[in-house]
């Protein structure tokens, strides 16, 4: 078990390495969240220590504090509304580079930052690749008000989009629910298979209590995926 975890972590490091070659002096970067993006942030920290000038926008408070420790110059989207490149991880990736994100609860800021970037590069180990999205539960960020009504509506509209499964509030510390950086809740939707991600995304956007969902469609331009066969670079058609 420990060996499998070490191998997966090695792959995350291997996926992050080529992404660092895309970083050029003066770039404005979005810094992703999670255990894979962690390695990219570490590498940016090393470049900064060696004198590279970049300006970075973190996608979560966790990444902000990591970047601060590394003395990476930080900005916000208010000060720097357009970024050159965002590098982030993913929970699931299909061959059209459609993603499920938000396993760590950072999907809202991640999507805002990725959308503000000219390019989004996803880094991942091979376990994240999937023929059909849905094997990872889809995180949906919701407001607290009307939680049960929102959950019911998510279930009903998702069923119309061909997705059925348990929709449950993500637990946090003790008896408390998980709270996002924006002070919202997350419901995880265990749909197992999402036959038409675009249809589901459209349906979820019709729910007033939904702030954002973890389907990232048409956002990732490139995926760098590391595994037993080496490192593979996958480009989205037309990107
Ligand atoms: O909310 C978290 C993010 O979407 C992460 O990028 C995603 O969960 C992948 O994380 P990891 O690289 O730790 O598997």
95 is in an annotated binding site: no
Instruction: Given the residues 42, 61, 92, 110, select the one marked as catalytic.
Output: 110
Q: Where are the alpha helices (DSSP H) in 95-140?
A: 107-115
CA–centroid distance, residue 32 to ligand 1 (Å): 8
Nearest by Cα to 106 from 42, 184, 158, 168: 184
Q: Indicate the pLDDT class of residue 1, thresholds 50, 70 and 90.
A: low
CA–centroid distance, residue 165 to ligand 1 (Å): 22
The residue whose CA is least distant from atom 10 of ligand 1 is 34
- pTM, entire model: 0.96
Query: Which tens digit of pLDDT belongs to each residue from 72-125?
Result: 999 999 999 999 999 999 999 999 999 999 999 999 999 999 999 999 999 999
Ligand 1 contacts (CB < 6 A) are 32-37, 88-91, 101-107, 110
Q: Indicate the pLDDT class of residue 238, thresholds 50, 70 and 90.
A: confident
Reported in sequence order, the residue ranges of the chain that DSSP labels E, i.e. its strands, are: 28-31, 55-58, 83-88, 92-93, 99-100, 117-125, 138-142, 166-169, 185-190, 210-213, 215-216, 222-227, 230-235
Q: How would CATH label the architecture of 2-126+218-226?
A: 3-Layer(aba) Sandwich (3.40)
Mean pLDDT computed over 182-191: 98
Sequence spans of domains, the chain:
2-126+218-226, 138-211
The residue whose CA is least distant from atom 2 of ligand 1 is 104
The residue whose CA is least distant from atom 3 of ligand 1 is 102
**Is a pLDDT exceeding 80 seen at residue 157?**
yes
128 is in an annotated binding site: yes
Angle at 173 between CA 171 and CA 179, to 5 degrees: 65
User: What number of CA atoms fall less than 13 Å from residue 50's CA on the CB side?
Assistant: 7
102 is in an annotated binding site: yes
| Separation CA 41–CA 166 (nearest Å) | 34
ipTM over 0.90: yes
Are 31 and 65 a contacting pair, CB within 8 Å? no
Atom of ligand 1 nearest to the CA of 33: 6
Domain 138-211: CATH class, spelled out: alpha beta
Residue to mutate, 39, 59, 61, 104, ligand 1, most ligand atoms under 8 Å from C-beta: 104
**Is a pLDDT exceeding 80 seen at residue 56?**
yes
110: annotated active-site residue: yes
pLDDT of residue 172: 98
59 is in an annotated binding site: no
Residue to mutate, 16, 101, 130, ligand 1, most ligand atoms under 8 Å from C-beta: 101
pLDDT of residue 4: 79
pLDDT of residue 3: 82
Q: Residue 165: which region, alpha, beta or left (left: phi > 0; alpha: psi -120 to 50)? A: left
Q: Which backbone phi and psi does 209 adopt, to 5 degrees? A: -80, -5
């Amino acid at each position: 078990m420990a060996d499998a975890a070490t191998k997966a972590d090695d792959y995350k490091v291997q996926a992050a390495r080529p992404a660092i070659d895309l970083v050029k002096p003066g770039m404005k970067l979005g810094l992703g969240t999670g255990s894979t993006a962690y390695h990219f942030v570490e590498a940016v920290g090393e470049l900064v220590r060696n004198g590279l000038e970049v300006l970075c926008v973190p996608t979560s408070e966790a990444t902000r504090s990591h970047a601060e420790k590394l003395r990476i110059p930080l900005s916000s989207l208010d000060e720097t509304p357009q970024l050159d490149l965002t590098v982030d991880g993913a929970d699931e990736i299909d061959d059209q580079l459609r993603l499920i994100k938000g396993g760590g609860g950072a999907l809202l800021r991640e999507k805002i930052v990725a959308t503000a970037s000219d390019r989004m590069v996803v880094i991942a180990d091979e376990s994240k690749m999937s023929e059909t999205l849905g094997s990872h539960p889809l995180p949906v960020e919701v407001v607290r008000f009307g939680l049960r009504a929102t959950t019911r509506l998510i279930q009903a509209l998702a069923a119309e989009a061909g997705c059925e499964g348990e929709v449950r509030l993500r637990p946090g510390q003790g008896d408390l629910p998980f709270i996002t950086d924006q002070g919202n809740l997350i419901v995880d939707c265990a749909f197992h298979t999402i036959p038409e991600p675009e249809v589901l995304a459209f349906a979820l956007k019709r729910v007033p209590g939904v702030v954002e969902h973890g389907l990232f469609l048409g956002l990732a331009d490139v995926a760098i995926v590391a595994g037993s066969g080496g490192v593979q670079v996958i480009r989205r058609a037309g990107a």
